[in-house]
Structure formats: structure tokens, C-alpha cells
Chains A and B, each alone.
Chain A
Amino acid sequence: MARTFGARWGWVLLVAASGCNSEDPGVSLDMGLAHQQPGTSLGGLPRALAGPNDSVVTLTRAWVNVGAVEIFACPPTAFRRTLRFLSPIGVAEAHTPGSPTKIGVPHVDDLARPDGEMIDLGTLKPPADTYCQAKVSLDAADDDAVGLPAPSVVPMSGNTIWIEGSVTPAGGGPALDFTLSSAVEFDGQVPFVGASGSASPIALTSAETARSARVVLRYDRWFATVDPLAAGAADALVSAIAQTLEVHAE
């Protein structure tokens, strides 16, 4: 009897140990990066933009490094705040580099690419929640940045931006060339917006929900207040790029 028992258990083990696994996907958010301006779709450089004092800025070469993207859940409602207050279990709020809510791989966007063409930044698998905003970090590209141009093309490594172009004064006149490069870092913390431009939180609250969002560089707004020929223009331009970022929920 014991030998029969042992033999049967042996078969059970053999079958079970042959190994198998399966996955039920959770929530995910695919993040992309693009540059575009509403109403037009340019195929590449050069790009003519409105500059300060009715000047026209023409970009001939331009790269921007997006160092990280982190998403944030919507603030808890009063009801959820009450539940959290009453709960004896603490909720950690710390964030770490490369967390489920943060993509820390730098990507360099080359404005020679067509408008709207997306670079895949990666897929977040955040805790289930509804997300209202994202923080986009512009910082100096390292040698491992995705899309980093070759040093023979432009010394982008160590720089947050590298912008070349010319300015044509209002009313005409000779165009003045400029080259702007900067290693300063700025963050843009912006809400997710829908196609209409209004706030559009992303609900990732049920299993197998897969959404996407794209970080948009609104290059048409970069020079609204930045004179590329002025002193400190490069650092001011990084700030302007951060302040004009959009994150579109799709």
C-alpha cells in the first residue's frame, strides 16, 4: 500500500515539476515622446517659428534631451483621505529612480523628425490608480541616451539642448545666426490633457487596462518670450521648453 502511495505521489510530482506558468496582465501606460504644433504637420527642419517682438526664428538643427518622465496619481478625494487616516496601515510615499511610476531612460528628440512621429519611451506598470499629471525632466544627456546624435554631428552629450538657427527681425532685414546649448535642468509638471486640451486623468483602475500617453514638445511656443540672441538665452530656452510641455492622454 505504501509503495503504491509513493508511486502515485511520484507521478504527481513528475507531472507538476514539468513546469508551467501563466500571466494575467495588470494595468499599463505606454509613454511616448513627440514634437508638434497644432494645426500643422511639418516633415522636418527647417521650422519657422514666431519669435519675440514679431521676429521669425528659423530652426535648422535642434535636439532636446528628455531625461525622465514620472506620473502622479490624482490627489485623494476627501473620502479616500478619511479612509487613509482611519487605516492603521501606513502607505509609503517614497519614489525611487526607475520605479513603476517613472521612466528614467533619457531620450534625445531630434526635431528633424516629422511632427507627431512618436519615440517610444517605455511602458509603465504603475500601482492601480487614476493618474492626473506627469513630471517631465529635461536634463543633460549622458552617453547612453537613446537617440543621442554622433559626436561628429553635434556634441549633444552633456547638454540638455542643442539648437541652431537664425532670427529674422520684424519687418525684414538680415537673418542673424545663433547656436544655443545648455546643460541646465528643468522639470515640467503638467496635467494629462485630452484632444480638446482639457484635463483628462488616466484611469488605470482595473486589470488589463492598457493606455498610452505622449509627451509633446510644443516647439512653436519656445521663442515666444526667449530672444535667442540675448545673453542667457540657452538656459532660458530650456526653462521655456519645460514650461510649454504637454502630456496628451490617448
Chain B
Amino acid sequence: MGYEQPFGGRFRMFSEGQYRTESSGTPQDGGSSVEEWSLSFGGSYSLSRAIALSVTVPVLFRTMNQFDLSTTHATNLGDVEAAAKFVIWRDREFSSRHLVSLLGGIRFPTAPLQYDSQGQPLNTDIQAGPGSWWGIFGASYYGRLVGALSLYASVMAYVPTEGRQGLKPGASGRGTLWLQLQPWSWLSVRAGSDARLEGVWHENGAVSPDTGGFIAFFSPAILISPATDWVVQLAAKIPVVNHLTGVHTEGTYASISLVVDL
């Protein structure tokens, strides 16, 4: 429960609500803190036992507070992401215990540029996206270990093009390592780590301060299946290692998601 293994004709829909906070900068350099609620909706379809395609459409609700006591609220479409998963190896055809997959995708610059009441673009920290195209590449491994214990690991690279207004996001590498225990068919618990190593961002050719660096999270989750084909997940990402560059912190991520097999 919780890991999607492709088999031909499987169609899933999912939605996720997530809350997170982030702050960067100092009072002297116009720093800000952002509180974000996001709502994502998507679907995935398995063309075969080897190939699955998915699309995720996020909507972001952001509030940015600055040291000058100004507050900006923005609600907008985020960057839509399309992804594909190719299972390149499994240990056996049926009831596989080990799967190795390649992952790839594109994140589209669908988040519109947002303007203030004077017609000036809002601060980049509150824009729902940088206006970049992102290439996504990676690989994953799923293995059933012993009994009800399973493992999932993945590494991903996100490579952006230059975005709007001279903004060039930093490429990032992301890693995931989760252990999941499913004592009953309707309940699983998961624990692991997510980590991100990100390059600095550039703005008009100059390094943007307080961008890039490394952060790692402890990632617990509970997955509940209240009915056949339905899975509800409650998850958190708690930062435990913060080596983000400059004055930059991220808070705990909390999310609830729902997956439905159609």
C-alpha cells in the first residue's frame, strides 16, 4: 500500500493538501517568510506493467510576510508536472519483490507571473513558479524485505532552464529513503528521510543570496485504507539537517493526501 506498481490499465487519481513554511534573508536585505498551503490534484495511468504516466496540477496559496510588516497573499496555479515511470527490472513477473525503475518528466512553467496593484511583478518569493522548464530524471528501487517490511529509495535530478525576469533557479538533486511496515491490509506506517541538494539561484546573472544548499528531513507517515481502492496518507517532513546557504530555513511540511483507484 502506498507504492504504485504499474500494471496495464490501472488508473489512479490523487489529491494532496500540504502546508509548509520557509524564511530567508535578513531585515537589512529585504528578507521574508512565506507560509504556503498547496492543493495538488492529479492522475496516473499505467500503459503496461512497465510504463506509468502521471500528471500533477498544483494550486498554491501563499502568504508572504516581510520585515517592513507588509503582507502579500497570492493564490495561483503552480507549475504542472508530467512524469513517467519505466520499470526496467523486476525479480519475477508476478508478485514482484524487487523493482528498479527509471523516472523522467517535465515541469512546465504554467504558474502565471503575478503583479501587484501598481502593475509591478510581485516578489519572486511569492510567485507560484519561476517560469522555468524543468527536466526531471531519476531512478527508484522498491523492495519487499522481510514480512510486512518494505523499502523505497529514489534519486532525482531537477534541471531548470532560465525563467522569467532574469531568474535562473538552481538545479537540484533529491533523495528519498523510506521503510514501510504494513501490519494490516488497511494500515501502514512509514519512516525515512528526504533530502535535497540545490544549487544557488541567479537573478540577472548575479547569485541570489540565501538560495541553494542542503537540507534533510525526517519523514514519518501513516497510510490508511478505509475502503478498497482508497488510501489516505498523513505525512510530515521534519527538517533535521539544515545547511541551506545564507540565512535560510524551512519549517516542517505537513500533508494529507488521498489516492483512489478507478
Using a CB–CB distance below 8 Å, which chain A residues touch chain B? Answer: 2-3, 5-6, 9-10, 12-13, 16-17, 19-28, 91-96, 99-101, 125-128, 204, 206-208
Contacts and interface: CB of A to CB of B under 8 A. Distances in A.
Interface of B: 13, 15, 26-30, 39, 41, 57, 59, 61, 66-77, 112, 114, 116-117, 122, 126, 229-230, 247, 260-262
Contact of B71 (A6, A26, A94, A101): A26
A125 B13 contact: no
A12 B75 contact: no
Given A125-B68, A126-B68, A99 B59 contact: no
A22 B68 contact: no
Contacts of A16: 39, 59, 61, 75, 77
Given A100-B28, A127-B27, A127-B28, A24 B74 contact: no
A24 B229 contact: no
A19 B74 CA distance: 7
B56 to A, nearest CB: 11
Nearest 9 CB-CB pairings of A with B? A26-B70, A127-B27, A26-B68, A17-B77, A26-B69, A127-B67, A21-B74, A92-B26, A207-B69
B39 A13 contact: yes
A21 B114 contact: yes
A100 B260 contact: no
Contact of A128 (B57, B67, B76, B77): B67
Given A2-B13, A100-B67, A13 B41 contact: yes
A99 B260 contact: no
B73 A96 contact: no
A127 to B, nearest CB: 3
B121 to A, nearest CB: 11
Contacts of A128: 67-69
Nearest to A124: B68
B67 A22 contact: no
Contact of A17 (B59, B72, B114, B230): B59
Contact of A99 (B28, B61, B74): B28
Contacts, number: 111
Given A2-B260, A20-B74, A100-B67, 5 more contacts: A2-B229, A13-B59, A21-B74, A23-B72, A26-B69
B229 A19 contact: no
B66 A26 contact: yes
18 contacts: A2-B261, A5-B13, A17-B59, A19-B74, A19-B75, A19-B114, A20-B75, A21-B126, A23-B71, A24-B71, A27-B68, A91-B26, A93-B28, A96-B28, A96-B29, A127-B28, A128-B69, A208-B69
Contacts of A92: 26-28, 247
Nearest to A12: B39
B247 A19 contact: no
A100 B30 contact: yes
Nearest to A204: B68
Contacts of B67: 100, 126-128
A25 B70 CA distance: 5
Nearest to B72: A23
Contacts of A126: 27, 67-68
Query: Which of A10, A26, A204 is packed against the most chain B CB atoms within 10 Å?
Result: A26
Nearest to B230: A2
A100 B29 contact: yes
A92 B246 CA distance: 11
Nearest to B80: A17
A87 to B, nearest CB: 14
A17 B76 contact: yes
B131 to A, nearest CB: 15
A125 B66 CA distance: 10
A21 B116 CA distance: 8
A48 B95 CA distance: 99
A9 B15 contact: yes
A23 B116 contact: yes
A26 B66 CA distance: 8
A24 B28 CA distance: 20
